[in-house]
Amino acid sequence: MTVLGIILLVIAVALMVFLASTMLRAPQPADAWRIAGTSSISPAAQSFYLDYIRRHTNYRRAGAVILGVLSVAGSWLVTQNVVIWGTITAVSSPGWCDGSGLCTNPSPDGSMAGVLLPACILGAILGGLLAETYRMRPLSGLRQASLDARAPRPLIGRALAAWILTALAIAISVTVWIAMGTPSLIVGLLPGLIAVGLAETIQIAITSRRRPVLAEEAMEADHNMRRAVSESVTWLELGAATLAIGWAGMTAGNLIDTGQPTDWQVGIAGVLSSLGFFSVIPALIYVHRSSLVKPPSQNPSFAQPASNLPAPHRHLAVPHWIIPKTPSITSPGITAAPPTGAAS
pLDDT above 70: residue 179: yes
Q: Return the higher-pLDDT residue of 39 and 80.
A: 39
Q: What is the dihedral of CA 93, 99, 105, 108, to 10 degrees?
A: -170
C-alpha distance from residue 335 to each of 76, 319, 339 (Å): 49, 9, 12
Partnered with residue 105 across adjacent β-strands are: 87
Helical residues (DSSP H) of the chain, grouped into ranges: 3-23, 29-36, 43-79, 112-130, 156-180, 184-208, 216-258, 263-278, 280-290
Highest mean pLDDT among 42-56, 255-269, 297-311: 42-56
Kindly report the number of other CB atoms within 10 A of residue 104's CB atom.
Answer: 19
Q: How many percent of the chain have pLDDT more than 70?
A: 70
Instruction: Provide the mean pLDDT of the chain.
Output: 77
Which of the two residues, 163 and 81, has the higher pLDDT score? 163
Is pLDDT above 50 for 99?
A: no
Sketch the domain layout of the chain as residue ranges: 3-138+153-295
Give the DSSP H or E segment for 88. strand 87-89
- Which one-letter amino acid corresponds to residue 227? R
Quick one: pLDDT at residue 142?
54
pLDDT per residue as tens digits for the range 285-325: 999 999 999 987 777 777 666 554 444 444 333 333 433 34
Tens-place pLDDT, residues 195-232: 999 999 999 988 877 766 667 888 889 889 999 999 99
pLDDT at position 107 over 60: no
| 316 compared with 332, residue with greater pLDDT | 332
Distance CA 2, CA 27 (A): 42
**104: β partners:** 88
- Give the per-residue SS3 of 152-200: CCCCHHHHHHHHHHHHHHHHHHHHHHHHHCCCHHHHHHHHHHHHHHHHH
The CA R_g of the chain, rounded to the nearest whole Å, is 24
Separation between Cα atoms, residue 248 and residue 187, nearest integer Å? 10
Cβ atoms 110, 83 nearer than 8 A: yes
Among the residue ranges 107-121, 167-181, 266-280, the one predicted with the least confidence is: 107-121
| 117 has pLDDT over 80 | yes
Q: Residue 289 and residue 215: Cα distance in Å, rounded?
A: 31
What is residue 335's DSSP assignment?
-
